[in-house]
């Protein structure tokens, strides 16, 4: 699992960077408010301000981390400034096999000769 930062940069409107942000299931995301004068509050919608965070992100401060349990696209908006929007794309991780790939058939990656230790027995 990884931790990703979304930088909030001051402006009219302020900008979320990167936008969109691509993460994987169960990765953590946090916002850092680089706006020196205004608080920002990223949320799934203005009607659901506590959808990600229980509080606003104050100037020059980080938010708490959030993670996403399933693949999906999550648009979000700043509750305090509706013109500020962003998108988080959550992807599933590809399954990895033992040793980084498929192994050959048979024990030890190959076939064995007949008999104990590969020798014919009498």
| Contact criterion met (CB below 8 Å) for 13 and 42 | no
Give the range of the structural domain holding residue 33, as residue numbers without chain letter: 3-96
DSSP state of 46: T
* CA–CA gap between residue 56 and residue 115 (Å, rounded): 72
What would the pLDDT profile of 53-109 be if each residue is shown by its tens digit? 999 999 999 999 999 999 999 999 999 998 999 999 999 987 665 555 555 555 655
CA distance 96 to 13: 42
pTM of the model: 0.75
Residue 109 lies in a domain: no
Which CATH number do you get for residue 82? Answer: 2.60.40.420
CB contact at 8 A, 42 and 16? yes
Does residue 103 lie within any of the structural domains?
no
Provide the number of structural domains found in the chain: 1
| Residue 69 domain flag | yes
């Amino acid at each position: 699992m990884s931790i990703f930062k979304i930088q909030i940069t001051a402006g009219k409107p302020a900008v979320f960077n990167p936008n969109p942000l691509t993460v994987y299931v169960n990765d953590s995301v946090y916002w850092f408010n680089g706006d020196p004068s205004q608080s920002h509050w990223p949320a799934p919608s203005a009607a659901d301000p506590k959808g990600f965070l229980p509080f606003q992100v104050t100037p020059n401060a980080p938010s708490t981390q959030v993670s996403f349990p399933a693949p999906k696209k999550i648009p979000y908006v700043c509750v305090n400034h509706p013109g500020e929007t962003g998108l988080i794309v959550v992807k599933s991780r590809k399954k990895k096999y033992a040793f980084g790939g498929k192994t050959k058939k048979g024990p030890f990656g190959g076939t064995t000769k007949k008999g104990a230790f590969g020798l014919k027995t009498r």
